[in-house]
Homo-oligomer: A and B are copies of this chain.
Amino acid sequence: MEIRRLRYFKTIADEGQITRAAKKLHIAQPPLSQQLKLLEEELNVTLFERNGRSLILTESGETLYRKTSDILNGIEDTIAEVQAVDSGVKGVLKIGANKSCFAYLLQQITHIRERFPGVQFKIREGDTYTLTKEIYEREIELAIVRLPANDTEFSSVLIPPEPYMFVISDQWEGFCDKDSVYMKDLDGIPLLLLHRLSGKGQFEIVTDEFQRLGFNPNIVVECPDAAMLLSLTAAGTGGTIVPKSTLEAFSQENLRVFHLKDFKVQAEAALLWGKDRFLSKPAREVIANMEELY
């Protein structure tokens, strides 16, 4: 049973006449008579009682008529929904980010919510390795992660490097009173560092930098979660080194923040997605927005 036939049938039933229905459908009368006949033959059912010039629905016809509206409306709704999803008006954006990149994620979510208020978000958190794997397995479309990352299978928008900041509790006694420090000032301070679950990451970058300057850092905590790290820091466990934007996302009370004057390495992050992957409208919008911003 083709939908055109159903639509024809409904119009005939509505108009109570083939001729009038044909006009409404912008076709000639004979093909409409023919299509009705074909529908009846296909269903092997008499749909209209023809008596002279009057058409009256049979019981089978009534039955079909009652269902027809549901079917046609269902199809129209489906088309509308599919197009809404495609246009990004509706849908789910599955996106991941490192905790330390949460500030960027926050920014993009805000942006998408303005452009496409109907879009839902499924957010994954994890280290760069985990998230790239999840892109590969299509569990997420996009990820905002700290570099380095395997970029042979991913396209990316680079986010401008941002400085690492040193953070320590404002209750910490005997620390310098300016707003920037040198690496040597950290000597002896217990350090809490971000640690990735696998692969080379910031932990290695920071420790390498210490080694370059000839220090041997006193690392007391390695933690993969930036929010936890800052919480521990605020509690006075020690000092930590995090990218600047991380501080914006997880702003915490009782923290003092310092520039690190001779810490040359900067935190690099990027928005990643699968090479040649189909991307939803919201995903494309995030990419476009990132490219414009950075």
Contacts and interface: CB of A to CB of B under 8 A. Distances in A.
Contact of A71 (B45, B64, B71, B138): B71
Contacts of A289: none
Contacts of A77: 67
Interface string A62-92: 0110011011001101110111011000011
A119 to B, nearest CB: 11
Interface of A is mostly: helix
Interface of A: 1-4, 43-46, 49, 51, 56, 58-60, 63-64, 67-68, 70-71, 74-75, 77-79, 81-83, 85-86, 91-92, 138, 276-278, 280
30 contacts: A2-B2, A2-B3, A2-B4, A3-B3, A43-B82, A43-B83, A43-B86, A44-B86, A45-B82, A45-B83, A46-B86, A46-B278, A49-B277, A49-B278, A51-B276, A56-B278, A58-B278, A59-B86, A59-B91, A60-B86, A63-B91, A67-B74, A67-B81, A67-B82, A68-B78, A70-B74, A71-B71, A71-B75, A71-B78, A74-B74
